Amino acid sequence: METRITIVCDNSISRSGFVGEHGFSCLIERRDEKYLLDTGPGRSLPINLETLNEDLSGLARVFISHGHYDHTGGLLWVARQLGQIEVIAHPAIFSRHMVIDPAAPDKPPRYIGCPATQKELERSGAAFRFIDHTREAAPGIWFVTGIDRDPGKAPNDPRLVLPDGDGLVLDPIQDDASLLIETEGHPVLILGCAHAGVLNILNHVREKMGVERLRAILGGTHLMFYGPKDLPVVMDQFERFSIELVGVSHCTGFQAAVALSNRFGDRFVSASAGRVFSFQGG
């Protein structure tokens, strides 16, 4: 059996005909079912699906990696297109995610959470199933969330905040989730943004799920917020998993992507919109 993972939305494109947009979404096809992980900010999703000659018919469910607009902006469109769709997410998906501009401390924080409310989405056909800990959410697909976090192994992004009374606190983005997909031999790990920290996520899948090797890591890694001393540690951990393919996108950052390319050579690829990955088994 083949598992196909197609990058539908990303900051960059793999070839002409696609639209690049800050955000992430991928289409997962296996057995007779297909799923979406995230929906991008909204504008590029329908355009890129059409360019791929894909549509939403037969979509079994949508997984959401976290509640930021650049991953949930197309969810209302998806719900309206289908009329009814199961959406799997962490219960904190509708947190009041905000961002501040460190260069303009007097400027009020800007909301960057889900553009649509839960009620709006439910009225349009979204049926939420909230999961707050790692579990198998579809045959061979594990929703990885609610993991233990070592703050020293998480990205340092002080721009991301939550309202707290009359002030603001750093946003831990508790709703962060990833997907672990079983394929022949070893699984594939897909990250939305890895706000929980790539190292923490890898530690979880090794210690709590017994995964020692990965076919691939795909998606947003948030490595742009890791220091120059931390990035080699991350790449060393990738090597510990004997990863065959590193396909990064979205929030990885140019400098981190260059470092990954230099380290992994032919095992590195830019997971841009329109890129298709195929894995046997699962």
The pLDDT tens digits of the residues spanning 144-189 come to 999 999 998 988 899 999 999 889 999 999 999 999 999 988 999 9
Q: Note the pTM of the prediction, 2 decimals.
A: 0.96
Residue among 260, 174, 171, 258 at smallest CA distance from 217: 260
Instruction: Give the mean model confidence (pLDDT) for residues 6-22.
Output: 96
Helices 198-207 and 231-240 cross at an angle (nearest 10°) of: 20
pLDDT for position 281: 65
pLDDT for position 102: 84
Residues contacting residue 174 through CB under 8 Å, at least 6 positions apart: 90, 92, 95, 146
Give the CATH number for residue 19: 3.60.15.10
Task: Name the helix (H) or strand (E) containing 98.
Answer: strand 98-99
Residues contacting residue 155 through CB under 8 Å, at least 6 positions apart: 194, 195, 197, 222, 223, 224, 225, 226
pLDDT for position 225: 87
Instruction: Say if residue 282's pLDDT is above 60.
Output: no
Q: How many structural domains is the chain composed of?
A: 1
pLDDT for position 280: 82
Residue among 274, 282, 279 at smallest CA distance from 48: 274
Instruction: Say if residue 36's pLDDT is above 80.
Output: yes
Instruction: Say if residue 229's pLDDT is above 90.
Output: no
- The residue segments making up the domain with residue 63 are 2-280
pLDDT for position 184: 87
Q: How far apart are CA 125 and CA 60, in angstroms?
A: 13
Which pLDDT tens digit goes with each residue over 203-225? 999 999 999 999 999 999 999 98
